[in-house]
Structure 1
Amino acid sequence: MTQRLYYSSDILVMEVEVTTCAPWEDLYAVELVATPFHPQGGGQPSDTGRLGDAEVVMVKQDGERIVHYTRQPVTPGRVEARVDKERRQLHTHLHSAGHLIGHIGETFGWRPVKAHHWPGEGRIEFMPDQEARPLDAEQLESHFVQLVQQDLPVSITLDQEGQRRVGFGDFTPYGCGGTHVRSSRELTGLKDLLVKEKKGKLSIHYDVTSP
C-alpha cells in the first residue's frame, strides 16, 4: 500500500523511497513507499513532475497502490520527488471551486451527484431535492464571490469508516480524496460559466481564472 502524503501535506518537493521500477509499454512503472503525487481519480487529473532525473508523465491508482509512469527508469532507493507546482495549483483551484459550487447548489435545494474537475471540462451535476429553486449563472457567480470573501477555512477529517472528508467553513463536508486550497480566499474566480436545467437535472459547467 502506498502512503498518500498529499492527503495531509502540500509539500511538493521532498525525498522519497523508490521500491520498484519495471518497464510498462514505452514507459516505466515506478512505486514508492509514500508519494506526494496525486493520482488521476475522484474527478481530478493526475500530477506530473519528476523523480530524480526521470519525468513523471502520469500517476494512476491501482487498488491500494499508486503507480508513477516515467519516461526513464528510476533506480530503487532514495530520490528527490518534484511535483509540477503550476499544474497542481490549477487542479487544486478547480477542485476547491467545484466544492463551493456544490455547496451553492445545495443552498438552492440541489444535491450534487457527480463532479468532474478537469481544466476546460469542469462540471457539477445535481438532482433536485423537494424544494429546489432555479439557479442561474449570475446568482451562482455572486454567491461564489461571497464565499471567497468570507475566507472559509478548509477542514479535512476522517469519518468513522476512515473515509476522508473535505469541507469549507460550516458546510457539510464531501467525501473526497482530492487536493484543496487552505481557504476559500485563495480562489481567484470563475469563468466560462454555463448553467443548464433539463429534465429535472441541473448541470453547471465552469472553469477558473488562472491562480
Structure 2
Amino acid sequence: MDLVRLDMEVNPTKLDYYGDMSKLQSKSTLISDCKGDDGRRALILESTIFHPQGGGQPSDTGVITVADSDFKFIVQDVRSKNGIVFHYGVVESSGGDFEILLEKGKEVVLCVDESRRVLNSRLHSAGHLLDVCIQAVGLGHLESGKGYHFPDGPYVEYKGSVPQNEVQSKAKELELEANALISKGGKVFVAVLPYEEASELCGGCLPGYIPKGSTPRIVKLGDKPGCPCGGTHVSDITEIVSMKVSQIRTKKGMTKVFYTVGA
C-alpha cells in the first residue's frame, strides 16, 4: 500500500503505553500489512504498546502473534509517521497463509521485550534526572536541549558552556547529586494533561513548541518540576539504580553530559 495514501486513510495509532508503561502484553487489531519507505515489511495496528523511536529514545522490540496460529512477527524496529506507528520486522513461522492471517481486522497479540523496555526507560529517566541535577549544582545557566538515551553512549546536550577548569568537579557534583536523589527515591508521575495544568507542573511555563490549548504528556520525577515527554520511564526514581557521569564536554557553546546507569 502506498504510504501517501495510507497517511490519508488511516487514523493515528492509539498509544497504549502512554497510560500504562508497565504493560508489556496487549491485544490490538490489524489495520494494514505494508511496506515502509525503505522496503521493509511493516504492520500497522489500531493501538500499540510498542514505543516508536523518538525523543532520543530507541524503539521497543518484541513479537506480534495471531491467536490460534503459529504466525509470529518479530518486531525489530518501530517508527512513527504522521501519528501512524509502523512496526517493522520479519515473519518467523513454520507455515500458514500469511495473506489470510494478516487480513485487515485480525486480532493480534503484542509482546514487548521486557529487558529492553526496562533499560530504555531507566536511561531515559536518568536523562531527565540530569536536568534536575544541573540546576542543583550551580549550572542553571545551561539550557537543556536534545538527549540521546541509547545504551551505546547516553548523553544530554545543553546550550551553554562549562569552564574547562570546572569540568571534572562539576561532573563529580552532578554524579553525587544524582545518586543522592536515586537513593532517596520518589514516584514518577506521567500523564496527558490540559495545557494550563501541564504548564503549572512544569514550573509555570511550557516550551514554545508546545501549542497553547493542546494536551501535552508530562513526566515529573518526585517533587521536582515536570517537563513534556512522550517516552517511557521508570515508576520510581530508585529503579534507575545508580548513575555515573562519565564526561562533560563543551564545544562551540554547547555542552554534552555523558552518563551511564548501574546494572
- Shared fold, TM over 0.5: yes
Give the equivalent residue in structure 2 for 1:118. 150
Deviation larger for 79-88 or 10-19: 10-19
Per the alignment, in what secondary structure is the counterpart of residue 90 of structure 1? helix
Q: Which amino acid aligns with 1:175?
A: P
Of Structure 1 and Structure 2, which has the larger fraction of its residues in helix?
A: 2
Gaps of 5+ in 2: 1-11, 66-71, 92-97, 196-213
2:62 paired with 1:49: yes
Residue of structure 1 in register with 2:186 after alignment: 152
Q: Distance in 2 between matches of 1:116 and 1:4?
A: 22
1:204 aligns with 2:257: yes
Pick the aligned partner of 2:121 from 69, 92, 107: 92
1:178 corresponds to 2:231 = yes
Q: Percent identity?
A: 32
* Other-structure match for 1:82: 111
TM-score by length of structure 1 reads 0.90
Deviation of residue 23 (structure 1)?
Answer: 3.7
Q: How many correspondences in the alignment? A: 206
Query: Over aligned residue pairs, what C-alpha RMSD do you find?
Result: 1.9
Deviation at 1:106, TM superposition (A): 2.4
Aligned residue number for residue 163 of structure 1? 216
> Who is 1:8 aligned against?
19
Residue-by-residue CA offset, 1:8-33 (whole Å, 9 max, x unaligned)? 11211122211111244553211111
CA distance in 1, matches of 2:60, 2:76: 8
Moved more, 64-73 or 92-101: 64-73
Provide, for residues 106-127 of structure 1, a one-character-per-residue CA deviation record: whole Å limited to 9, x for no partner: 2321321221111122111123
Write the letter of the residue equivalent to 2:118: Q
The one-letter code matched in structure 2 to 1:151 is G
Instruction: State which drifts further: 17-26 or 152-161.
Output: 17-26
Contact 1:159 1:165 in 2 (8 A): no
Match of 1:127 in 2: 159
Structure 2: distance between partners of 1:30 and 1:120: 28
